[in-house]
Amino acid sequence: MVNEEQTSMWNGPAGQAWVDAQETLDRLFTPFEALLVAEVAATGARRVLDVGCGTGSTTLAAARKTGTDGHATGVDLSEPMLALARHRAAREQLRAEFIVGDAQTHAFEPAYFDLVISRFGVMFFENPIQAFANLRRATRAGGQMRCIAFRSAAENPFMTTAERAAVPLLPDLPARRPDAPGQFAFADPQRVQAILEDSGWSDIHIEPIDLTCAMPEAALDQYLARLGPVGQALRGADEATRTRVVEVVRAAFEPYVAAGEASFSAACWMMAARA
């Protein structure tokens, strides 16, 4: 596996945290799922590949849209997340399958998919040119790609509030590495354009999108304590440190809380291209 660091992370506590928070995260990112499902309809795709599908919400939504004569495939590194995705597909009896694999290197059937989609799954590639070239080979001539990725950390302050608030209590919290695999790896649109060109895609369009996301206020503590860099750091912390960090970080999110919800504007790119 080329992407060993990400494989280890998403098959460990990070992956399990996403499983446990599945309902909260699906609700949080519903606006982006809706955009991608609209692209499934607009392109008339019958065979859809969802990259970095996690617990399967976007894959399942694509399967519902393609109907009984279509098919949706999700690919992800995480065994625990895909186990939940398969359970959800079986419960709804949807035409969806899930592959445990690295989209950078997995041997997809060549020229098979009509549409490649991703909701925040493509920023974690260790070698993005290799990955997008592999996805290009899996897409039929004339097929399309629609991927959503975050813009910069500066444009997404909600996503870094926890680590900024926690730094005095967690001095060893690792700093974000620009262009490294992670949440803001695709912040620079010129870099993204070059990656897609170098991997063989055509008709590339990278457009900014800003959508409001929300979660119940009651879910905020779990979100802060288990997800992201702070959640990862707290896995090895003693109970007193954990309690104090969550208390301090929770207070930092007060500007985002109103009427029983925590909400924020997510600044992202919609990346479109043709095979």
Distance CA 271, CA 269 (A): 6
Query: Does a structural domain hold residue 216?
Result: no
Residue 169 located in a structural domain: no
Per the structure, the complete domain to which residue 146 belongs is given by 4-153+177-211+268-274
Residue 243: pLDDT over 70: yes
E-strand spans in 187-252?
A: 202-216
pLDDT digits (tens, 9 = 90+) for 61-102: 999 999 889 999 999 999 999 999 999 999 999 999 999 999
Give the largest CA-CA distance in the chain: 57
Residue 241 is assigned to a structural domain of this protein: no
Name which residue leads in pLDDT, 130 or 1. 130
**Domain contains 119:** yes
Percent of the chain scoring above 90 in pLDDT: 81
Q: How far apart are CA 12 and CA 140, in angstroms?
A: 35
Evaluate whether residue 260 is within a structural domain.
Answer: no
Distance from C-alpha of 196 to C-alpha of 115, rounded to nearest angstrom: 15
Residue 253 located in a structural domain: no
8 Å CB contact between 10 and 78: yes
Instruction: Answer whether residue 183 is part of any domain.
Output: yes
Residue 86: CATH number of its domain:
3.40.50.150
Could you report the per-residue pLDDT of 114-170, keeping only the tens digit for each? 999 999 999 999 999 999 999 999 999 999 999 999 999 999 999 999 999 999 998
Q: Is residue 19 part of a domain?
A: yes
Rounded mean pLDDT, 243-268? 95
256 torsion bin: left (phi>0), alpha (psi -120 to 50), beta (else): alpha
Overall number of domains in the chain? 1
